Amino acid sequence: MSVLSSQKTSVHSGRFGSSRLFTRLNRQKYLLLMLCPAFLLTAVLCYLPLVGWWLAFTDYHVGDSLFGGDFVGLRQFSRLLFESSDLGYLIRNTLVINGLTIVINITVALVLSVLLRELLWKPGAKFVQTILFFPYFISWVIMYSIVWALFAVNSGAINQLLVSLGVIEKGFNILGSAKYSWGLMIVLNLFKHTGYNCIIFLATISGIPQEQYESASLDGAGRFAKIWYITLPNLIPTASILLIMNSGWIFSNNLEQFFVFTNATNWETMEVLDMYIYKFGLQQLDYPYATAVGILKTLVSIIVLVVVNKTVKKLSDTSVF
Amino acid sequence: MKRKRSVGGILFDILNTLLMLIILVLVLYPFWYVITCSLSTPSQTTGSLLLWPKGFTLESFKTAFETEAVYSSLLISVERSVLGSAGMLLVSGMAAYVLSKTHLIAGRFFRVFIIFTMYFNAGTIPIYLTYQTLGLTNTFWVYIIPMLVVPFNIVLMKNYMESIPPSMEEAVLIDGGNELTAYFRVILPICLPVNAAVILFSALTHWNSLMDTQLYNSMSPHLYTIQYVLYNTVAAQMSQTLEGARSAGSAALVNSQSLKMAFTVITIIPVMCVYPFLQKYFVSGIMIGSVKE
């Protein structure tokens, strides 16, 4: 009703531009009032900090007034891009860890969802699904604590077991060695996210029309033929959409995850852009450089996101869904 | 109804069931180990994969709760989870309601303005400096205020509200009531399922949050959250951060494995308690979000 009346008003008073706007504002004053807190908070906490991008073009030192640094142009940006070799290992770590995580997570979840559906005892499948989803809600500190309990070099339970069985001489230094960082991150992400991805795949499976299976049975298709010719092809579009959408975040990391697991012994293979920004900004207090790296990261992420979104739209218009 | 089963089919079923059992063990055992370890006598825990507590004792939990840092940080974590999620529902809920109105003035601008922040932030340092300038650092409010507007939750609630027929609130509006009354009297109660989902999710995000303490409140020990205390206890020895060393005072108290595990269990238990509800509402939440976003 209110929608109708306000539209009517706007049609009739169309000739008097300002008074029409005033009438609409007056009609919607409660709506605007209700939006106010969220709008102001977003403006101040998310958009106001953009002013701080100015720092990246100065040689600001901690202690100066905010706009006290001298303008140095693109000097801070060229430090990362041309003067240091850090960019190479940062990009490598980010792409290897995130790229492999995305591919492996989706593949495992896809296979597991098919297998879950094939379980004969349905409550069992539901139970496995429920348990699998739990780690999704566990913080990275707890993940660290668990890994530490099982794999600390000297006190970790699994390391001690392997040593006492004589399988290895000395415990795997999983938390403190550059060798294991990529594998550790990939396995932990799998542990945390498989349940979530399975839910999406299982929902897709339950959306497959039963007639497809029934008519396949009439044609004499066995169980494996049905999986291969009906279930899997129906899951491929969901998998590709998930794959593409997740790639949109490939340059963004969960800072908490890397903050907890990055240390002095494994940073070469563990440090990603967000950690690097944290290290230079808040530990070495080089604000201008950290801000510049942050700006570059934001710009690249947005480009990737836009490209990915375009791709998804194109695909979903033609073949998917 | 009996199905004719091939040898291959039976073999597959056996292997499949076995695989699921292995997966269950892989997911559950780490948590079970942490629990048994926390219930064991400290001197007996090292070096074995336990199935049951060895020398059952609640000593570690007693020590944990006698540690002043644990007690106060638990309180801070509970406070921020409760206040934070309630505040989020108030602010984001109203915003979602307004943004769901198709006739809103500059509606497209407001929608993009808020939802764009899902994909973009100004960066660690600019945000840090802004919070510092606003006087948020080293206060409890730095936990609450930045998490009042959650674009993802707004999208979830907005989608839900758009599916409510307009006739529901028209009664109030025709009687001369305004949208504020309509929202709180009619819409908010109808949105119970989606409200439950976002409240639980927000409370959990608050509970699990670590970086905001590290970034903004590391100089104020009375504002440490349970996650941060756990981090300092378990992880600080490996950490390259100076902050870790500074708070080594609290870490020195706790060096036995079972005490660390008791800390971990204390931090997990609340999550386990809300998990059944989380699972129920969150699954539908994912579905609404992924279908309509």
Residues B130 and B28 in one domain: no
Beta bridge partners of A64: A62
Q: How many domains does chain A have?
A: 2
Residues A105 and A194 in one domain: yes
* DSSP states along B59-108: HHHHHHHHSHHHHHHHHHHHHHHHHHHHHHHHHHHHHHHHHT-TT-TTHH
Among A168-172, B36-40, B75-79, the minimum mean pLDDT is found in A168-172
Residues A34 and A99 in one domain: no
pLDDT of A109-127, one tens digit each?
999 999 999 888 889 999 9
Amino acid at residue number B116: F
Q: Please, are residues B122 and A54 in contact by the beta-carbon 8 Å criterion?
A: no
User: Domain holding A128: CATH number?
Assistant: 1.10.3720.10
CA distance B269 to chain A (A): 11
Task: Tell me: pLDDT of B51 over 80.
Answer: no
Has residue A82 been placed in a domain?
A: yes
- How far apart are alpha carbons B127 and A52 in whole angstroms? 8
Residues B23 and B86 in one domain: no
* Closest residue to A176, CB basis, from B204, B231, B238: B238
Task: Tell me: pLDDT of A12 over 90.
Answer: no
Which residues in chain A touch residue B209, judged by CB atoms under 8 angstroms apart?
A: 139, 256
Residues B287 and B252 in one domain: yes
Give the per-residue pLDDT at A320: 37
Has residue A63 been placed in a domain?
A: no
Give the per-residue pLDDT at B265: 93
Closest Cα to residue B141, out of B187, B87, B92? B87
Residues A247 and A147 in one domain: yes
Has residue A72 been placed in a domain?
A: no
Residues B122 and B24 in one domain: no
Residues A47 and A84 in one domain: no
pLDDT of A192-215, one tens digit each?
999 999 988 998 898 889 888 889
Task: Tell me: pLDDT of B218 over 60.
Answer: yes
Region A2-9: mean pLDDT is: 42
Residues B50 and B103 in one domain: no
Has residue A151 been placed in a domain?
A: yes
B237 lies within 8 A of chain A by CB: no
Q: From the candidates A1, A25, A40, A46, which should be mutated to test the interface with B, based on the most B CB atoms within 10 A?
A: A46
Residues A44 and A109 in one domain: no
Q: Please, are residues B107 and A53 in contact by the beta-carbon 8 Å criterion?
A: no
Residues A83 and A13 in one domain: no
In this prediction the pTM is 0.86
Q: From the candidates A7, A28, A31, which should be mutated to test the interface with B, based on the most B CB atoms within 10 A?
A: A31
Query: Among residues B42, B57, B72, which one ends one of the domains?
Result: B57
Has residue A247 been placed in a domain?
A: yes
User: Domain holding B257: CATH number?
Assistant: 1.10.3720.10
Residues A274 and A199 in one domain: yes
Task: Tell me: pLDDT of A86 over 50.
Answer: yes
* Closest residue to A1, CB basis, from B23, B174, B290: B174
CA distance A80 to chain B (A): 16
Would you state the structure tokens that stand for residue A231, as one six-digit string?
A: 């279930």
Q: Do A37 and B94 touch (CB under 8 A)?
A: yes
Q: Where are the beta strands (DSSP E) in B90-247?
A: none
- How far apart are alpha carbons A171 and A148 in whole angstroms? 12
C-beta atoms surrounding B20 within 10 Å? 21
Give the per-residue pLDDT at B254: 42
Which residues in chain B touch residue A132, judged by CB atoms under 8 angstroms apart?
A: 23, 27
Has residue A42 been placed in a domain?
A: yes
Residues B113 and B197 in one domain: yes
- How far apart are alpha carbons A17 and A118 in whole angstroms? 65
Residues A224 and A284 in one domain: yes
Query: Who's near A154: CB < 8 A, 6+ residues apart?
Result: A160, A171
Region B241-264: mean pLDDT is: 57
Residues A44 and A85 in one domain: no
Residues A149 and A14 in one domain: no
Task: Tell me: pLDDT of B251 over 70.
Answer: no
Region A87-93: mean pLDDT is: 91
Query: Among residues B37, B57, B77, which one ends one of the domains?
Result: B57
Residues B64 and B53 in one domain: no
| Average pLDDT score, chain B | 84
Residues B228 and B152 in one domain: yes
Q: How many domains does chain B have?
A: 2
Which residues in chain B touch residue A265, judged by CB atoms under 8 angstroms apart?
A: 238
Give the per-residue pLDDT at A83: 87
Quick one: DSSP state of residue A138? S
Domain with B51, as residue range(s), is: 1-57
- How far apart are alpha carbons A19 and B191 in whole angstroms? 36
pLDDT of B152-197, one tens digit each?
999 989 988 988 888 888 888 888 788 899 999 899 998 888 899 8
Among A263-277, B30-44, B196-210, the minimum mean pLDDT is found in B30-44
Residues A48 and A88 in one domain: no
Residues A239 and A112 in one domain: yes
Has residue A67 been placed in a domain?
A: no
What is the pLDDT confidence band of residue B43, given thresholds at 50, 70 and 90? Answer: low
Residues B101 and B234 in one domain: yes
Would you state the structure tokens that stand for residue B253, as one six-digit string?
A: 């108290």
Q: Do B271 and A42 touch (CB under 8 A)?
A: no
Residues B114 and B188 in one domain: yes
A297 lies within 8 A of chain B by CB: yes
Q: Please, are residues B192 and B273 in contact by the beta-carbon 8 Å criterion?
A: no
Residues B192 and B67 in one domain: yes
Q: Please, are residues A201 and A109 in contact by the beta-carbon 8 Å criterion?
A: yes
Closest Cα to residue A242, out of A109, A143, A111? A109
Interface confidence (ipTM) of the complex: 0.86
Query: Among residues B12, B40, B57, which one ends one of the domains?
Result: B57
Has residue A73 been placed in a domain?
A: no
What is the pLDDT confidence band of residue B209, given thresholds at 50, 70 and 90? Answer: very high
pLDDT of B115-158, one tens digit each?
888 888 888 999 999 999 999 999 999 999 999 999 999 998 99
Domain with A192, as residue range(s), is: 78-318
Q: Give me the helices (H) in chain A, please.
A: 2-12, 17-27, 29-42, 75-78, 86-118, 122-133, 140-151, 157-164, 181-206, 210-218, 223-226, 232-247, 255-261, 267-270, 273-278, 287-318
Largest CA distance in chain A: 90
What is the pLDDT confidence band of residue A9, given thresholds at 50, 70 and 90? Answer: very low
* Closest residue to B34, CB basis, from A6, A133, A146: A146
Region A146-160: mean pLDDT is: 82
Give B63 or B269, the one with higher predicted confidence: B269
A264 lies within 8 A of chain B by CB: yes
What is the pLDDT confidence band of residue A144, given thresholds at 50, 70 and 90? Answer: very high
Q: Do B128 and A50 touch (CB under 8 A)?
A: no
Closest Cα to residue A22, out of A35, A34, A6? A6
Cα B21 to Cα A185, A266, B125: the distances in Å are 24, 34, 47
Residues B153 and B200 in one domain: yes
Region A10-32: mean pLDDT is: 73
